[in-house]
């Protein structure tokens, strides 16, 4: 059933998968227990996450837990064809081809859902969108699902508010193991990995404009400053803006920042963050990169219309020349730069995020009577993953004594 570009790439894909498995100890501990207990026995799990090696490991771990796993990508440009072939050869039904057209991408999502899943694991809400719409016929067995992106959670909560959420969903993105670790340190490193690998340009000495100072934006700004860049932050939230100021970054509007920046990185989860009037004010040869989930933060279509000329300047870089002679360089078509032009978050980072996905999916199998709402990840799951990660790194922390616990839970000052 799998749809991959070339099954002959399987061996190379399996090597990539094995490499990351060696650096994902928390998920390995979960896999060992899943092998014994088979918590997903008899259940079908549909997964739509960026189809690369760490995601493949998650799919394999769920399979080891007894699940029938059907896995696709969540962005055509982040799919790695060798990994897709490797995962398919390991018995996971896999649907994904790098650079798939919008029509092919929708087909891959639909094929993944034809299994009538019990559980969905989503990244950006594509599966839930289909299950609540044209693929409703495949939602008859749904127990629930997990969502791991900020944008996806916003869309789920909007569906919940309107009463059209197709099943209970766990907000994996909001777990401590996800946003403290993955969003800040994962995005912070992998976005710059994608930008630097794609451009082969220095970061030090440049002015970097980071749009959005949530957990992902904090990581992007921190790494830029660490490499010697001057950092400007744009925000709509006054307290996030104040936080950025207290961390030593300049804060201003995008209108003010547009003429100053050498590199622009959007990390907001919103659309039209950089638009026509900003393009018109920019320097020659600026770099435009998006590290948010969807490709609408930089208005590339508007830039294309403004341009008098465009050309592919390097792999994953298109230069758009405006009537004033300035060329603006868009990385990875304005898609998620760390995956569309890189390998995504490091394995050690995704170890924790995918551990949350696996345990949240297991939690759903043990619940009854859940309403069609968005639920937080239970603290017991978060804490267990944090402790497993500490142990894997050879680290220890203190524990409260009974007297300290009593003190913290009491109103008495004695």
DSSP string, 64-78: HTT-EEEEE-SSTTT
- Given a cut of 90, is residue 177 above it in pLDDT? no
Domain that holds residue 140: 7-178+345-392
Per-residue pLDDT tens for 207-253? 999 999 999 999 999 999 999 999 999 999 999 999 999 999 999 99
- Answer yes or no: is 145 a known binding residue: no
Task: Please report, rounded to a whole number, the percentage of residues in the chain having pLDDT higher than 90.
Answer: 91
Domain assignment present for residue 398? The answer is no
- Answer yes or no: is 228 a known binding residue: no
The per-residue pLDDT for 414 is 64
- Answer yes or no: is 218 a known binding residue: yes
Per-residue pLDDT tens for 138-161? 999 999 999 998 889 999 999 999
Q: 317 and 217 in one domain?
A: yes
- Answer yes or no: is 179 a known binding residue: no
- Answer yes or no: is 132 a known binding residue: no
- Given a cut of 70, is residue 8 above it in pLDDT? yes
The per-residue pLDDT for 96 is 98
The per-residue pLDDT for 97 is 98
Q: 276 and 162 in one domain?
A: no
Per-residue pLDDT tens for 303-323? 999 999 999 999 999 999 999
Q: What pTM was estimated for this model as a whole?
A: 0.90
- Answer yes or no: is 292 a known binding residue: yes
Q: 221 and 122 in one domain?
A: no
Mean pLDDT calculated for residue range 76-91:
96
Q: 173 and 26 in one domain?
A: yes
Mean pLDDT calculated for residue range 94-104:
97
**Confidence tier at 46 by pLDDT (50, 70, 90):** very high
Domain assignment present for residue 2? The answer is no
- Answer yes or no: is 86 a known binding residue: no
- Answer yes or no: is 150 a known binding residue: yes
CB 131, CB 143: distance < 8 Å? no
Q: 194 and 168 in one domain?
A: no
The Cβ-side half-sphere exposure at 130, using a 13 Å CA radius, reads 23
Q: What tokens appear for 162 in the block?
A: 């309107």
The per-residue pLDDT for 412 is 77
- Given a cut of 80, is residue 393 above it in pLDDT? yes
Per-residue pLDDT tens for 270-289? 999 999 999 999 999 999 99
- Answer yes or no: is 151 a known binding residue: yes
- Answer yes or no: is 116 a known binding residue: no
Q: 76 and 201 in one domain?
A: no
**Confidence tier at 180 by pLDDT (50, 70, 90):** confident
Domain assignment present for residue 373? The answer is yes
- Answer yes or no: is 149 a known binding residue: yes
**Considering the chain, what is the average pLDDT of its residues?**
96
Nearest to 349 by CA among 190, 176, 186: 186
Mean pLDDT calculated for residue range 243-270:
97
- At 253, phi and psi to the nearest 5? -80, 165
Q: Count structural domains, the chain.
A: 2
d(CA 239, CA 348) in angstroms, rounded, equals: 31
- Given a cut of 80, is residue 413 above it in pLDDT? no
- Answer yes or no: is 214 a known binding residue: yes
Write the CATH number for 352. Answer: 3.40.50.1480
Give every CB contact of residue 161 below 8 A, 6+ residues apart in sequence: none
- Answer yes or no: is 401 a known binding residue: no
């Amino acid at each position: 059933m799998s749809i991959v570009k070339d099954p002959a790439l399987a061996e190379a894909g399996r090597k990539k998968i094995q490499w990351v498995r060696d650096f994902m100890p928390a998920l390995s501990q979960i896999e060992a227990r899943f092998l014994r207990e088979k918590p997903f026995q008899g259940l079908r799990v549909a997964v739509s996450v960026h189809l690369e090696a760490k995601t493949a490991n998650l799919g394999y771990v769920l399979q080891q837990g007894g699940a029938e796993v059907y896995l696709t990508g969540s962005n055509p440009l982040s799919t790695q064809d060798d990994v897709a072939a490797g995962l398919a050869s390991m018995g996971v039904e896999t649907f994904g081809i790098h650079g798939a057209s919008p029509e092919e991408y929708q087909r891959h999502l639909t094929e993944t859902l034809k299994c009538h899943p019990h559980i969905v694991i989503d990244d950006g809400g594509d599966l839930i969108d289909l299950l609540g719409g044209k693929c409703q016929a495949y939602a008859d067995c749904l127990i629930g699902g997990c969502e791991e992106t900020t944008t996806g959670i916003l869309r789920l909560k909007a569906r919940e508010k309107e009463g059209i959420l197709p099943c209970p969903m766990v907000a994996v993105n909001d777990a401590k193991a996800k946003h403290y670790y993955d969003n800040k340190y994962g995005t912070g490193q992998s976005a710059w990995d994608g930008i630097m690998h794609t451009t082969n340009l220095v970061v030090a000495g440049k002015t970097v404009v980071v749009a959005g100072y949530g957990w992902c934006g904090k990581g992007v700004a921190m790494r830029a400053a660490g490499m010697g860049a001057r950092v400007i932050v744009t925000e709509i939230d006054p307290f996030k803006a104040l936080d950025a100021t207290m961390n030593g970054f300049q804060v201003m509007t995008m209108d003010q920042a547009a003429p100053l920046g050498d590199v622009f990185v959007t990390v907001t989860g919103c659309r039209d963050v950089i638009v026509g009037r900003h393009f018109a004010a920019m320097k020659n040869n600026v770099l435009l990169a998006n590290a948010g989930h969807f490709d609408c933060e930089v208005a590339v279509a508007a830039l294309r219309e403004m341009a008098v000329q465009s050309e592919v300047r390097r792999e994953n870089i298109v230069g758009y020349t405006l009537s004033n002679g300035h060329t603006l360089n868009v990385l990875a078509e304005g898609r998620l730069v760390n995956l569309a032009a890189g390998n995504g978050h490091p394995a050690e980072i995704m170890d924790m995020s995918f551990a949350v996905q696996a345990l949240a999916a297991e939690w759903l199998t043990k619940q009854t009577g859940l309403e069609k709402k968005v639920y937080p990840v239970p603290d017991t799951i978060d804490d267990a993953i944090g402790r497993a990660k500490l142990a894997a790194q050879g680290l220890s922390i203190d524990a409260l004594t009974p007297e300290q616990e009593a003190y913290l839970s009491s109103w008495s000052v004695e």
